[in-house]
Amino acid sequence: MVVVMAADATDEDVARVVAKVEEAGGQAFVSQGVLRTIIGLVGDIDGFHSLNLRAMPGVAAVHRISDPYKLVSRQHHPERSTVWVGRSGAQVPIGPRTFTLIAGPCAVESPEQTLEAATMAKAAGATLLRGGAFKPRTSPYAFQGLGARGLEILAAVGEATGLPIVTEVADARDVSAVAEQADMLQVGARNMANYGLLQAVGECGKPVLLKRAMTATVEEWLMAAEYVAQRGNLDIVLCERGIRTFEPTTRNTLDISAVPVVQAASHLPVITDPSHSSGRKDLVVPLARASIAVGADGLIVDVHPDPEVALCDGPQALDRSELRALAQAVRQLPPLVGRRPASASSPH
Ligand code: PEP
Ligand code: MN
């Protein structure tokens, strides 16, 4: 941490800052320039925050040098992590050497629709099944999901197809019920900063898929992951799902730069969601290709046997014929960037 003194700061101002830091058990190194004095602090950086140095006379600015997140940072964990999803013996990796396709319906609507979507997803190369039972929608009048019944349907379809399941949990009170059935718990964009929910999934014992909020910076997103990690759960996969910009042709703008930016800052795997970011089926495959090329560790994609009658997000769902191009991209492109398609195996 560096304290920058104002141009008109006095020697007493500098001495007061040094004394306060030393009283708190830290060390302060004063460097006097021609115009400015800066003070380098060494010690308990988080503790220094409570000293409120910025409010002291003569202090112009206080800058943090180290990452504010620790457990998810690559500074102390240089090797990139692999997160394994599924039951023992048949777990699917999400990490730096593989490419993982998660696909399925946006929402679980019925046993038939879910099974058909899962079969399509599997045929396209998906090794994890997505499906929403609890759907936090922008409008309270929109379909909110089948809830507990949806979860049962998804679990049965996961069992029938052999695909581990990924599903959203939107309320801390539902975490243990969802964790009983799901292989991976998704925290959606709208809940990225729901700290009680993040702490609850941090204690659930299952891997977590943490979506980026549409208005969150990379740092805010990684701080949200830190909440999960702090509760003992480091099995976190980050999902870039588009951010809100001025551009109205897509629902959100897929921040493709965020993939390598986050991979440099954090050891956690990063996937993208070309369906929810664009809101348009015609953009899903181009954005999927771009995601593979930029180094994403996987994709999560909406599929539906009949998108025209989908209860949720039909315009972005791929049908059987549209899935062919996605299947081809997921089969052909990862090997060009040194990855193999992820399949179920045992962690090693
Ligand atoms: C979803 O994946 O079903 C979803 C609602 O996504 P997001 O939270 O990114 O909007
Ligand atoms: Mn959706």
pLDDT in tens, the chain (348 residues): 999 999 999 999 999 999 999 999 999 999 998 889 999 999 988 888 889 999 999 999 999 988 889 999 999 899 999 999 998 878 999 999 999 999 999 999 999 999 999 999 999 999 999 999 999 888 999 999 999 999 999 999 999 999 999 999 999 999 999 999 999 999 999 999 999 999 999 999 999 999 999 999 999 999 999 999 999 999 999 999 999 999 999 999 999 999 999 999 999 999 999 999 999 999 999 999 999 999 999 999 999 999 999 999 999 999 999 999 999 999 999 999 999 999 988 786
Name the closest-CA residue to atom 4, ligand 1.
188
Q: Residue 104 is encoded by which pair of tokens?
A: 């399925």
Are 154 and 136 in contact by the 8 Å Cβ rule? The answer is no
Nearest to 284 by CA among 309, 250, 260: 250
- Which ligand is nearest the CA of 316, by number? 2
pTM summary value: 0.93
How open is the CA angle 292-299-339, to the nearest 5 degrees? 45
- 103 ligand 1 Cβ < 6 A: no
Q: Whose CA is nearest to atom 3 of ligand 1?
A: 106
User: Where in the chain are the domains?
Assistant: 2-63, 83-341
Q: How far is the CA of 324 from the centre of ligand 1 (A)?
A: 23
- Indicate if 83-341 has the same CATH topology as 2-63: no
Beta carbon of 132 within 6 Å of any ligand 1 atom? yes
Architecture of domain 2-63: 2-Layer Sandwich (3.30)
Asked whether 2 and 41 are in contact (CB, 8 A), the reply is: yes
- What is the second-level CATH architecture of the domain 83-341? Alpha-Beta Barrel (3.20)
Closest CA to 140 of 85, 190, 67: 190
What are the two backbone dihedrals, phi and then psi, of residue 243, each rounded to the nearest 5 degrees?
Answer: -120, 160
- pLDDT confidence of residue 348: 66
| Mutation probe of ligand 1 site: the residue of 143, 166, 168 with most atoms within 8 A of C-beta | 168
